[in-house]
Amino acid sequence: MIILDPTHPSGPAEQIRGQLTALIQSGELVADLKLPPVRQLAGDLRVAPGTVAKAYKELEEAGLVRTGRANGTRVNPGMELGVPALKEVQRLVTAARTAGMSLAEVQGLVAITWIPLNPDSADAPRGS
């Protein structure tokens, strides 16, 4: 499910959060699916439980999951991007791989093109 890359510039918590986000948004992790308990996933990935707890907390803050004592951490309904967006991402990945690009290079391209069409949007850079 999750693969950590020790050479990746992001730390383990960010990698866990990012991969779980992608799995939820792609629909691979369906609504109400129970995620592994923090200690179990930490043991499986060989990281500290706090690392997984941080990732889960960030997912909860983003509204992708909910946590309850008795129910554990579950995927919130309606968080998938849907088929059209997923298809576009798959096309981008295929083109990037064909061009021999690394994940970091693709992420860099996405970052520099993440310029909002509407300067008043929430994603617009803040002036000083």
- Which of 3-12, 50-59, 76-85 bottoms out in mean pLDDT, i.e. has the lowest? 76-85
Question: Which numeric CATH code is attached to 12-75?
Answer: 1.10.10.10
* pLDDT value at residue 128: 41
Residue-wise pLDDT tens digits, 68-85: 888 899 999 887 765 566
**Of 75, 80, 81, whose CA–CA distance to 33 is shortest?**
75
d(CA 92, CA 40): 34
Which residues belong to CATH 1.10.10.10 in the chain? 12-75
Choice between 124 and 78, residue whose per-residue pLDDT is larger: 78
| Encoded tokens for 36 | 């592994």
**Residue 116 banded pLDDT, cuts 50, 70, 90:** low
Residue 62 has pLDDT above 60, yes or no: yes
Choice between 113 and 127, residue whose per-residue pLDDT is larger: 113
d(CA 73, CA 52): 12
Backbone dihedral region for residue 17 (phi beyond 0: left; psi -120 to 50: alpha; all else: beta)? alpha
What's the predicted TM-score (pTM) here?
0.64
